[in-house]
Structure 1
Amino acid sequence: MSAPLRRARTRTRHLAAVAAGVTLCAGLGVRAVGHGETAKYAGDALYTVLLCTLVTALAPATRPPAAAGVALAVSWAIECAQLTGVPADLAGRSVLARLVLGSTFNAPDLLWYAMGAGLFLLIRTAVPRPDGPRHA
């Protein structure tokens, strides 16, 4: 890998890590100050945005649609795992597990995770890649 590409990927990792932190704060904030379904579903969408940023930080060469697809699949898998009761059991023991895994299956969450993946794609289309073509 060339030095400029390595630098661009390092920059992408750093930007994605910052975006993950901002998204985490936004998600926790909306749930802390918001009320009802609006706050819940905004938190669900931001959960998937957070996963998208983490995928990008871990694999900076991943194109946005692939990152969104992976994050959406993980979000849906975690939601469906709630049908087993295991996440609820873990959530009863740990605040972190409750935040990451949830506890109760809710079908509308699946739609809001998809909305979060779409939001990520919308944002990523508006922000140029650091390793993209340079224009003078």
Structure 2
Amino acid sequence: MSITTGWTRLLMVVSAAGCACAAYAIRAAMDGPIEQYSGAAFSGAIVYTIVLFIRPQISPLTAGIVAIAYCWLIEFAQLTPLPGALSQRSWFVRQLLGAQFDLTDVAWYPIGIIPLAAAHWYVRASRRTRTNPVAAESQSHSMD
């Protein structure tokens, strides 16, 4: 495992913990749509960090697609009775699977994922520029 991979994984653990803390802080302080929508957005962000933890070298676009697809899969699975039944047995499972389908959540997952994918893209692009400024300069001229 390279140093970059190790640091990426550590950053993803810290990011996921920060997203979870923010989501629970909002839930404790507020009630209503902001609490619900931010929870879905932060859940999407946490899934994105898990994708990067598992595959640190993945592209931002691929990571975003995987994270959104996973979130939507879990949300649409809530149309079946299985997640609800499992969620009644365990608080932890309820946090992972949810309890009931909400179409609004489908829209809010990408809102939590897209900013992370954009930041991921920016970091990768700036790292490429620092490590190979000549190639980055020639690429920018070819785009003109």
TM-score for the superposition, normalised by structure 1: 0.86
Bigger radius of gyration: 2
Percent identity, aligned pairs only, is 32
* Count of matched residue positions in the alignment of Structure 1 and Structure 2: 131
Work out the CA distance in 2 between the residues paired with 1:66 and 1:77: 16
| More deviation, 70-79/16-25 | 16-25
- Matched with 2:104 is 108
Q: 1:27 aligns with which of 2, 5, 23?
A: 23
SS for the counterpart of 2:19 is helix
**C-alpha distance in 1 between matches for 2:83 and 2:107:** 20
Which residue number in structure 1 is paired with residue 142 of structure 2? none
1:125: Cα distance to partner? 4.1
Q: 1:92 corresponds to which residue?
A: 88
Q: For 2:56, what is the secondary structure of its paired residue?
A: coil
**Runs of 4+ with deviation above 6 angstroms:** none
**Deviation for aligned residue 1:68:** 1.3
* Equivalent pair of 1:85/1:103 in contact (CA under 8 Å): no
Name the CA distance, whole Å, in 2 between partners of 1:132 and 1:44: 31
Counterpart of 1:132 in 2: which secondary structure? helix
Q: Distance in 1 between matches of 2:43 and 2:57?
A: 22
User: Which residue, out of 60, 81, 95, partners 1:64?
Assistant: 60
Query: What does residue 79 of structure 1 align with?
Result: 75
SS at match of 1:40: helix
- Quick check: 1:68–1:117 contact (8 Å CA) kept in 2? yes
Deviations 1:78-112 (A, max 9, x none): 00000001111011100001111111111111000
Deviation string, structure 1 residues 48-78 (Cα, Å, up to 9, x no partner): 0000011111110011221111111110000
The Cα of 1:124 is off from its aligned counterpart by 2.7
More RCO (CA 8 Å, sep 6+): 1
8 Å Cα contact 2:60/2:118 also seen in 1: no
Query: Over the residues paired in the alignment, what is the CA RMSD in angstroms?
Result: 2.1
- Match of residue 36 from structure 1: 32
2:119 is aligned to 123
Deviation string 1:4-33 (CA, Å, 9 cap, x unpaired) is xx1111111111111111111112222222
Q: Which consecutive residues of structure 2, in runs of 5 or more, have no partner in the other structure? A: 134-144
Q: CA deviation at 1:122?
A: 3.3
Partner of 1:7: 3
CA contact (8 A) 1:19 1:53 kept: yes
TM-score normalised by structure 2 residue count: 0.82
Amino acid at match of 1:24: A
